[in-house]
Amino acid sequence: LLFEVTKQMVWDKASKDTSGLAQFYEAHQGNYQSPERAVVDIFRIVPSAAGKLNDIVNFTQEHSADEVLKEFNQDDFVIGVEVKEMEKPDLENYFRSIQWKENACSRPQSANDGAALTFAKIREIKPASQLTLKDARGYVVADYQDFLDKEWIESLRDEYQYKINHKVLESIVVQ
């Protein structure tokens, strides 16, 4: 019974009450910030092109990812690129040798699968920013549920008298 009432009063209300959720978000916007993050080009070089590695890395420092692909994939597939948005700890965990600044490149390293060499280049660093309600929805719903739960319990305490029987409480606490 308690589960069903909590479901109706808190969980369902938080997910269905779009105007209440929007008002809650507006009142607590400061809690929903994205951290500073970088747009990173992650290059994967096929092992057969390891002899061109220094040329590729040097060219990459001065050119865009599209230019790198155009330059080195003329005859055969030599290099691929994946663009990711990463926070500083995640980037440094994968590429320990990279500096946190635009156009910085990491040292090449073996990929986790051992089938390629990889290195990263920071394309852009984005500052911390406000998340939209759409982007922060999961966090906002969870916080709104906590808010509704506390509000509901307070209303019950205001409406009903309660008394804690300490003798019974202590008898059920395992010591």
pLDDT the model gives residue 114: 64
Could you read off the pLDDT tens digit of each residue along the chain, which spans 175 residues?
A: 888 888 888 888 888 888 999 999 999 999 999 999 999 999 999 888 888 888 998 999 899 999 999 999 988 888 999 999 999 999 988 888 899 999 999 988 887 666 688 899 999 999 999 999 999 999 999 999 999 999 999 999 999 988 889 888 888 887 6
Per-residue H/E/C for 152-165: HHHHHHHHCCCCCC
Report which of 95, 123, 99, 93 is spatially closest to residue 108, judged by C-alpha positions.
95
Cα dist from 2 to 10, 92, 158, 171, whole Å: 11, 46, 19, 23
Token pair in block for residue 106: 């990491």
pTM as predicted: 0.66
* Distance between CA atoms of residues 30 and 4, nearest Å: 32
Number of H helices, E strands in the chain: 8, 6
pLDDT the model gives residue 102: 93
